[in-house]
Copies of this chain bind each other. A is one copy, B any other.
């Protein structure tokens, strides 16, 4: 298995892009990444996307996007695992290059959501839950997470206020990210006063959807010359795991078993542990998910995720910085693209390009992308060479 490195990144600002098609949005991110890599040709394009077939009435995004960016005839597929589609594309590109079959691959995540009416998007997001056993009961995706958060507060004694630091940190960091959807800091009062979505999840616990695309270029480490314009970042851990789709089927609905499995495997591949991670781009689709990810990935004991946040340890200068470019909460959550934004941001940090929220001397970063309510979790660890 060849070692694989990321040598190019590209991303578009997450926003309501009424003036751009999905093809253009995706294409600009790919072209930026290829340019950043200093290449003019790649062999394959792997596209992470959740809802193009329904929201955009367009299947086979592979051919759709490849042609537009000048890659007609290149290999190209779409990868989908709901909100973790982005990391699925990254992992697929990684294994293709690692296998030796492909020499230069682009992994892309893209989602174009604002063209569809809001009620359709809510229904489409619900397809990430179990159609047979959850959605037929009338529950929405936010409501599923609200049940988890409520139970978590009951079991471990946390109050709503204890989750404020997750949102405050994300928004404070997003201010410095030109690609973030929201670039405004918030206070604890603003967090507590926000409109309720599904009790106890309010607007400041929930990440905003949007249109966005992010991409990376990967090559075998052995083929990188000495001429690379940026510090090279190699992938030292990659693992994916599933869990039951329906939350009620899990022995412990407050434990992200798939995060535990995939992070443990990634640590083992990298030969490191949580203490070696300089920053962690986790999947804070809802603030409760930030807490659960920190616990299952070995950064906090069971039921103590909010403690880390309350102690200020999740800031860029803390013990385990998270959401360093705004996270899902402030950078935004264009579902199938999110995993790729996380990975692009890890590369930015390891290149020491994260202006305003740079983690000092960042050398090893981790990204974790969650599909469904914890049913498909993909963890990657990257290292500055």
Residues in A lying within 8 Å of B, measured CB to CB:
1, 21, 23, 44, 50-51, 53-54, 56-64, 66-67, 71-82, 84, 88, 92, 95-96, 98-102, 123-124, 126-128, 130-132, 135, 238-245, 249, 257-258, 261, 371-372, 375-376
* Given A80-B80, A127-B53, A241-B73: A99 touches B1 (CB 8 Å cut-off): yes
Q: Are A73 and B242 in contact (CB under 8 A)?
A: yes
A96 to chain B, nearest CB (A): 5
Q: Is the CB of B72 within 8 A of A240?
A: no
* A99: chain B residues within 8 A (beta carbon): 1, 95-96, 98-100
Residue in B66, B92, B242, B375 whose beta carbon sits within 8 Å of that of A242 in the complex? B66
Contact B77 A59 (CB under 8 A): no
**Bound complex: CA of A84 vs CA of B76, how far in Å?**
11
Residues in B neighbouring A124, C-beta threshold 8 A: 53, 59
Q: Which of B66, B76, B79, B249 contacts A67 (CB 8 A)?
A: B249
Give the shortest distance, in Å, between A268 (CB) and chain B (any CB): 13
Task: Decide: A132 and B21 in contact? CB cutoff 8 A.
Answer: yes
CB atoms of A244 and B375 under 8 A apart: no
Q: Which listed residue, B53, B98, B371, touches A63 by the CB 8 Å rule? A: B371
CB A104 to nearest CB in B, in angstroms, measures 15
Residues in B whose Cβ lies below 8 Å from that of A258: 73
User: CB distance B81 to A62 under 8 Å?
Assistant: yes
What are 23 A-B residue pairs whose CB atoms fall within 8 Å in the complex? A1-B99, A21-B132, A50-B59, A53-B54, A57-B127, A58-B127, A59-B80, A59-B124, A60-B82, A60-B84, A61-B80, A62-B242, A63-B243, A63-B371, A67-B243, A73-B258, A74-B242, A75-B241, A75-B242, A76-B81, A95-B95, A95-B96, A99-B99
A375 touches B101 (CB 8 A): no
A-B CB proximity, top 6 nearest = A99-B99, A59-B127, A60-B82, A63-B375, A63-B242, A1-B100
